[in-house]
Every structure is written in C-alpha cells, then in structure tokens.
Chains A and B, each alone.
Chain A
Amino acid sequence: MKKFLIACFLLVAVTNVQATPEQDRLALREFFAKRFPDLDLNEMINGLYAFDEGAREQWLEMEEFPPYEIAVEAGEEAFNKPFANGKGYADCFENGGIGIRQNFPRFDTDSGEVITLEYAINQCREDNGEAPLPWLTGELAEISAYMAFTSRGNRMNVVIPDDPRAVAAYESGKEYYYTRRGQLEFACENCHMQSAGNLLRADTLSGMLGQATHWPVYRSKWGETGTLHKRFQECNEQVRAKPYEPQSKAYRELEYFLSYMSNDMEMNGPASRR
C-alpha cells in the first residue's frame, strides 16, 4: 500500500512538473503535425498562405512587387543616418545590426526585462540623446523592416537563459497566449491553434507556428507597414479586450513566448498580408 501511495504521489508530481520551453515547442510542432499531416510545417512562416491556395497565388503575385519594399528602403536610409552625436544604430547592435533579427526578443539579465527589436531600437536612440519613435508604424517599423530584411534566411534563435526571471517571462507570455480574454472570451490559441486554417468570415486564420518570423508586416487592411504589437492590439480589439500599450511588459513577454515557439524556423520578414 505504501509503495502504491508513493507511486501515485510521484506520478502526480511528474505530471505537474512545468514543461520546459523546448518541450513546449516540440509539443506544439507535434500538435500541428497531427492537425495538418500533409503540410510541411516550415511553410507556416507564410501564415494563412500555408493553408489557402487561392490566397497564396494572389500573395505570390503581390510578392513580385512587394508593398513593404518602400518601408525597407526608407528603413535602410534611416538606419544609416547618423545621430546628432555622430553615432548610429549600428553602434548599438552586434554585427552592426545586420542579420540579427532572429535573436530577438532577447532576455536582458542586467535589467531582468525582455527586449524586443523595436524596444532595442528606441533604447539605442535614447542612449544617444534622440527622442524615441512611435511604436506601431512609421520610422521605427521601417528600421525594423530593414533589419528583418537583412536577416532573411537565418533561423529564429530566441534564447531563454538559465535565469528564473527569464523563465518567468516566458511562462507569463505562454499564459497570456492560452488565456481567454475580452467580451468574446477568445484566447490567441482559439484562433491560431484550434481554428488555424479555418475561415473567420472571409479570412483564413494563420497558425501559431511561424507567426513571429516575418514581422514587421505590410497589411493591406492598414495600408502601411506595422509592427507585431500593432497586430497584438488589433487581435485584442477583435475579441473586445482593451489593448495594452505597445511594448508593454505583457506584450513583450507574449512576443518572447511566441518567438521561442518559432525557433529554428526561417526568418522571412518583412512580409505582406491582407
């Protein structure tokens, strides 16, 4: 009897142990592999175009003259324009800021915070005496688009260091993703896992895998290139949840989790979407 009780206790303890981020990522890939057995999961970096053949054809045609091209060019110009103190963005980032998008968000062990690429760009500006840029669209999104463009083909490589604060930030983002919210009581998961590939009105819903590889995005609906946090806000509004501020702690941690789930997938930003 005693042995049986100990075995029961161990079983409960084992099943309640928190999964590691890597276990989460592999379980997620398994989920989508079962859900879409005929789909090459790497195609999911293309969002809804992985599922919707008709929309994919239109999108491929659009990619011949991609609407984000103007943002990339403007971003390159802004990136290379020196600050008033003579320094520039290249001085703030490893490898001069080229080909590094896949490493963001990163966890800063000094501040204990998740640093997204856009957050780092504005940090760079402020450290050099420049005013921060608006988070959602415009010059910041353009610089981010340029930096993403230079990182195309690299593999997402978000690291969660062996630091309880980093794990807590990841777990917080994970909880956000799976928690229902807003008057419509939808979690991110409801649309992008349960209903991925299904139609929501006239739009096919993208899947969670690869969702972080291609930002910023030119959305036809927006008529401009915007950042991932603009999309977070929009998703919140669609389920009637009051959005958080862009680059708020909650959104940065959500991006941390979401990006880790796309680890080892090809970076393909910026992108265009409906």
Chain B
Amino acid sequence: MTSSTRSKGSRAAAGSAQQDNSSLPPSDVPTRANGGSGKRRKRTYGGTLAPYGFLTPTFILLLVLMVTPIILVIGYSFVDRVIINPNSELVGFANYAQVLGDQTFWKALKNTVLFSSVSVAAHFVLGLVFALMLNSPLIANRTKSIYRAVYILPWLFTVAIVAVLWRMLLSPNGIVNYFIDELGLSNDKIEWLSDPSIALPALMFINIWAGYPFFMVTLLAGLQGISSELYEAARIDRASPLKQLLHITLPQLKPIIVAMALLDFIWTSQQFALIWMTTGGGPIDATEVLTTYTYKLAFSTYDFAVASASAVLVFVLSMVLAYLYVRHQKARD
C-alpha cells in the first residue's frame, strides 16, 4: 500500500519536473523551431513524423473510401452512359443539363427543402418545450429520469422500424384513422401515405416524431450549463418566466441551437431510408426528395451518368451547409 502511494507520488513529481522543463524545447515542437544540431533534428523528425503515423489508418480509409469515390462520381458525371457502356465518352455538362432540365429534380429539391425546414423547426420547438419541462427544478430527479427515458424512446428505433411502425399506424384501417373518426374530425379512410396532397406532411410528421429527441437531449445538456446566477439576478429584477426565456435561456442556448439546426438540416436533407420505405418517393413525385431521385436514376433506370450528376449536385449543396456549420463552430472557439 505504502509503496504504491510512494510510486504515485514519484510519478507526480516526475510530471511536475517535466512541467518545469517545458521552457526547454520539447521533442514534439515543429522542426522550424529548432533546426540546430543533427542529433536534435533527428529527434524532432521522430516527433513530427509520429502524428502522421498515428493518422495513417485514418488517411488510408478516407482516401480509398471517401476521396476516391468522390473523384469517381465527379468523373462519371461528365461522361456518357458510364459503367454500362465500356466506350463511354466525355459529354461535358450534358448530364447536368439533363438533371437541371428535369422537372422532377426541381420538385425533389423543393420537397427536400420543405421537408427539412419543417422537420428542423418542429424538432427545435418540441425539443425546447420538452427540455424546459424536463429541466424544471420543481420535479424530483427520479421522476425526471423516467420521463426523460420515455421522451427519448423514438430516437432508439432505427429508421426501418420507424417506417414499418408508421405504415401500420397510418394505414387507412389503422389506429390513427380510428382516433380521427372517434374524435369526430373525419370518418373517411384517409390514405395518409398514398394521397399526393397529404403524403409529404404525413412523412414530415413521422420524421418529427423520430427526430426531436436528439434536439431535446442536446438542449437539456445546454440548459444545465446555464449559470443559475443569471436566473437569480432575473428573479431579483422580477422578470417574468417568459422574459427569462427570451432574454436568458434562448440567448445562452443560441450557439447550440444554431449548430444543432444546421446539423439536423444536413442530416434530414440526406434522409433516404424513411422515405424509401414508406412512400418510395411517391405517389408519383409527391414525396420525391433529392436522395430518392438520385437513387432511382441509378438503381431503377440504371442511368448512372445522369445519377452521378445529380449525386454531385447533392454533394455540392451539402458542402455549402457543411461550410456554414464549420464556420459557425470555428466562430464559437
């Protein structure tokens, strides 16, 4: 026992000794900092090469399975009848022109933007309301954790499960229509997922159900990080709960909200499985989004070149969003 404590003590001493020496050039500063003797240079080379060694597996994986496919798909998008025809030739922007001239593409873009904006807005509102309720000091912690688990439930189901579950619930003979009938709202057998005028809103509803917990949990963590002194000061000033929400809570949460909204928008706009497994983009093109549009071009009509052009357009749009996200995260640091 005593020996172990002693060894711990000596290790701590070594640590502090190292700290004292830190004014001397340690081995892992960049070469430029100390290009002195050959011996020292060798040491620093070891130091500067080491991080690249640690990053090698990541490099290889991302190079082969991320950079290469992106280059390939960009290449595909400029040739004619790629993959199917071995003698495909360069056609310039013809594939892009075909995609951009396709009415369905614009419909898919419109649906994607609408689907994502409504989903993100609803995720935020629901997430915030639930997070505020779950964060109230009036409720015992044990009760809170039970409610929290229930509220997180939808997030624990994979998209495939969410899709079949809601296909059952929203079936014309399903439980949702039963409740609507019982409440006297309508006694039609509403075709939620096959009526072109309501299929997209129905999909949005499913996506809102499945996605709000992520927002909620993040906001909950954010709420717990707000200093209670701010609220105490507000209470002394007799600020109403609404004023506290508008002038303390929301401004304090703003960086998290913006980051989450951007991330959620990126993810929602890339949603494929939910739409593919519920409506398949139909009826006709009522719920077509960019991902289902691109997938169909590739794997239903086997028009890989045009599909690649569409895939590159989706990529560019996502990168614009990613740029906004990275810039926002950097501004926070």
> Do A and B originate from a single complex?
no
User: Interface of B with A (CB < 8 Å)?
Assistant: none
